[in-house]
Structure 1
Amino acid sequence: MNGYTKGARNELFALRPAPIQAMWLGYPGTSGALFMDYIITDQETSPAEVAEQYSEKLAYMPHTFFIGDHANMFPHLKKKAVIDFKSNGHIYDNRIVLNGIDLKAFLDSLPDVKIVKMKCPDAGDNADSSNTALNMPVIPMNTIAEAVIEMINRGQIQITINGFSISNGLATTQINNKAATGEEVPRTIIVTTRSQYGLPEDAIVYCNFNQLYKIDPSTLQMWANILKRVPNSVLWLLRFPAVGEPNIQQYAQNMGLPQNRIIFSPVAPKEEHVRRGQLADVCLDTPLCNGHTTGMDVLWAGTPMVTMPGETLASRVAASQLTCLGCLELIAKNRQEYEDIAVKLGTDLEYLKKIRGKVWKQRISSPLFNTKQYTMELERLYLQMWEHYAAGNKPDHMIKPVEVTESA
């Protein structure tokens, strides 16, 4: 309802229908309007020292003001299995990926599936073996795996293996349009591969799935520097819009990057958009205007995101998300550090595995996607606002948030 976005109804707020009016999500910035009392934010997104940039009083959430319903919309992405297509002892977690609500039952029907423990900086050799968050089932190259790969190579929509429907990840709209849009949870086992998007199997894939207007020249220069320092790497972008592709390519070529170092894909339906994020190794955030929902999308896919917070709200959201996730090592202080973090992830494969394992684990265990906890904390903040008003006080900054546990 509020903010300067399509479909907003700011005129209603100008008429003061409520004694307390607050900005929340949607529009990433201040309203500049005297009729908005609070902006619901957090200490990473809106530090107290820049409070003068806001016409509203700051009202902090305990973790991040951002939230996504990914755990409820896309529960089939909580677990994944991979096919060991190279059989050379090096197992990739993002080349041929299988997801599904019935994934465990399907895997139980297969022979020779082994469990590989994903690495995580916070989970040493003596980590609790009962924690299955980092367990990744691996399907060896056998007749089952070959049938799955053949389905993808032939462009088939779906096959049946041991009574389970296995579907091509590019064909979700043909199978169940409501699942494709995120309105329903897919009922099949979905296969997602790099080959579906023309991504090289043996390369480090950096990605950014934002609209292209968020890419300014200095950001593209940073990305070009990263690609040059990581020779076996590509950048995966979206035709968002398609008319931007030749401009990006021309600009990149002027920076000395061959055309094949940047790969474009069309915009996809919501479920596919989130799911295919698993195929990238690292997401490179746009510092000027961060990925907000797109940042949540890629983090739910388990892909690390490198960001560099600026001064504005729109440029600090990704840092807020990563702080909530517990991945401070992905937040850069300056352009050089941004490049260095991305290059380390692209060249130190053991480190990359650990960070990917950490993101995969933390998206479940941190508050970032916990809508129940978020709702209780938001309600607590509403109560603070009301009690402050009921006591006869004018709106004031609320920068000492109260954390609420689910059991509260």
Structure 2
Amino acid sequence: MRGVDWRERVREHVDFFHDNEEIKMDHIGLARYIHDQGIHILIEWDGYARQGERAQGLMALRPSPLQILHQEFLGTSGGQYVDYIVTDKITSPPHLADLYTEKFMYLPNHFFSKGHAVQEEVKKPTYEYVPANKPYTIGTGSPRENACMTKTGKKPKFVFCNFNKFLKNSPETLRSWIRILREVPDSMLCLLENPKTGTNYLRRFVHEAAGEPKIYTDPKSGEKIPDFEPKDGDSLNERIHFLPWERNPFDHQARNQDFCNVMLDSHPYNGHTVAQDALYGGVPIITRSDGDDMSSRVTTSGNIVLGLEELNAYDGSRQYEDIAIELGNNRTKFKAVRRQLIDTALQSNPMHPYWDAPRYAKNLESGLIAAWERFLAGKDPDVIEVVESTEASRGTYDQILEDNPSNRASDHVEL
């Protein structure tokens, strides 16, 4: 399958690659192997996210002097055997430090790594939509034309989307989506079959949440009988559609521009990798910013770095709904926000800090070095705030100048 062999890609770009396939479920064997290799810093990239697919208990054996939690599972490990968690000051504010057992390793800009802008397979967003193909071809058509691949002839004027797992959404979030659909006439909600077995449950929830209970009085007996008035639940369900799962990650990312005008973020567990896919596809994300948990604040931080703080609902669900309703009903406003987002993805010389992977790598390396030097000095882990060096802040610019010396003139900086 095209573009999914991450294992080989990593192998090609690192100095040492340790193949532990045969002992990956043996946490004691893995710990012994890591210890014998003299690994200084062990970074956990799964946390509690993939129970049953990998060895549990590895970090508790502390095979390395320093152990760090980074991405995938976004929250504290709750264990005294993890020294640091990689984050930023918006995602994990200092005043919430008591919610974590780890010390913060604060990165500038945004703590979540994303390599979209430096991978050739990832489609860059475009200001104008590519004309639609029939049957649908990835990378063509607008959200209105593609209409979440529905068979109905009526086209929506605006398409909201959410491609996260259903389990990331609370009942309150789904009720917000119902109110948004009501207030944006002829809009549609495009979701992912994630999982497919959950779609009927979601539709049932919409049917029930859109209606209201009532009491029916039997005219003969006078007995009061619980009843239900469905109201507009069925018509709302007609405006909610599901895309099939796309196994190829690059094709999945490309579909964002084809199917989504705006992403309604999940709460209390934000979209993370899914959110980065949407943002790089030129799809603005409206998020609730009233949570304390790390997983609920990732998009809030990202929107600030991208200059889109107006999409952060600090006051909760009602503000979240109001922002979505405004964008859905105000085409001029939506186009301005979308263009601003796409500007960041297409910026070069230097790349926008949100998308600059080499810049991110330098900052992360600085954090790891600071943690290791602290360990060598015999100091306990403590908060590390990475101050971006001049080298890191130049990001990809130095490499561009090396490859294209004629670009040294300041008027070659493209915004």
The alpha-carbon distance between structure 1 residues 8 and 24, as it changes in their structure 2 partners (threshold 3 A), is farther
1:192 deviation in Å?
A: 4.3
Bigger radius of gyration: 2
1:263 aligns with 2:251: no
Tell me how far apart the structure 1 counterparts of residues 188 and 57 of structure 2 sit (CA, whole Å): 46
Does the C-alpha gap of structure 1 residues 202 and 10 become closer, same or farther in structure 2, counting only changes over 3 Å? closer
The correspondence of residues 201-212 of structure 1 with structure 2, limited to 5 A, is 201-212=155-166
Q: Conserved in 1, the CA contact under 8 Å of 2:163 and 2:191?
A: yes
Report if the CA contact (8 A) 2:287-2:311 is conserved: yes
Question: Aligned residue for 1:285?
Answer: 265
Which of 259-268 and 13-22 deviates more?
13-22
In structure 2, what is the equivalent of residue 318 of structure 1? 299
Determine what percentage of the aligned residue pairs are the same residue. 32
The letter for the 2-side match of 1:204 is F
Query: For 1:365-401, what per-residue CA distance to the aligned partner results, in whole angstroms no more than 9, with x for missing partners?
Result: 4322211000000001111112222222111112464
Give the length in aligned residue pairs: 311
Question: Residue in 1 aligned with 2:228?
Answer: none
CA distance in 1, matches of 2:96, 2:375: 24
Q: Displaced runs of 4+ in structure 1, greater than 6 A?
A: none
Secondary structure class of the residue paired with 1:369? coil
Distance, in Å, in 1 between the alignment partners of 2:120 and 2:161 is: 21
Distance 1:297 1:251 in 2: 28
Aligned-CA RMSD value: 2.2
Gaps of 5+ in 1: 82-92, 99-148, 156-167, 171-189
Change (3 A) 1:400 1:275: closer
1:369 has 2:369 as partner: no
CA shift digits 1:258-316 (9 cap, x unpaired): 12111111111322211111131110001211000000010010000000131101111
TM-score (norm 1): 0.71
- Once residues 233 and 74 of structure 1 are traced to their aligned partners in structure 2, the CA distance between those partners, rounded to angstroms, is 33
Structure 2: unaligned runs, 5 residues or longer: 1-42, 211-231, 399-415
Question: Quick check: 1:31 aligned with 2:81?
Answer: no
The equivalent residue for 2:38 is none
- Tell me which of the two structures has the higher relative contact order, counting C-alpha pairs closer than 8 angstroms and 6 or more residues apart: 1
* Deviation per residue, 1:28-53 (Å, 9 max, x gap): 11111111111111111111101011
CA offset digits 1:337-358 (Å, max 9, x no partner): 1111111101111000000001
Change (3 A) 1:280 1:332: same
Q: Is 1:169–2:137 an aligned residue pair?
A: yes
Q: Report SS of the residue matched to 2:105.
A: strand
Q: AA paired with 2:327?
A: L
Match of 2:95 among 42, 49, 53: 49
The alpha-carbon deviation at position 79 of structure 1 amounts to: 4.8
Quick one: structure 1 residues 79 and 212, their matched pair in 2 at CA, closer, same or farther if it must change by over 3 Å?
A: closer
Answer yes or no: is 1:395 the counterpart of 2:374: no
Query: Aligned partner of 2:294: which letter?
Result: L
Counterpart contact for 1:237–1:264, Cα < 8 Å: yes
Structural mapping, 1:232-243, within 5 Å: 232-243=186-197
Matches within 5 A, 1:145-164: 152-153=133-134, 155=135
Deviation at 1:8, TM superposition (A): 4.5
- For residues 348-363 of structure 1, the aligned pairs below 5 Å read 348-363=330-345
1:101-146 superposed Cα distances (whole Å, 9 cap, x missing partner): xxxxxxxxxxxxxxxxxxxxxxxxxxxxxxxxxxxxxxxxxxxxxx
More moved, 214-223 vs 398-407? 398-407
Q: Distance in 1 between matches of 2:363 and 2:319?
A: 34
**Contact 1:290-1:314 at 8 Å conserved across structures:** yes
Asked if structure 2 preserves the Cα contact closer than 8 Å seen for 1:38 and 1:59, the reply is yes
Name the residue aligned to 1:191: 140
Separation of aligned partners in 2, 1:9 and 1:29: 19
Which residue is equivalent to 2:215? none
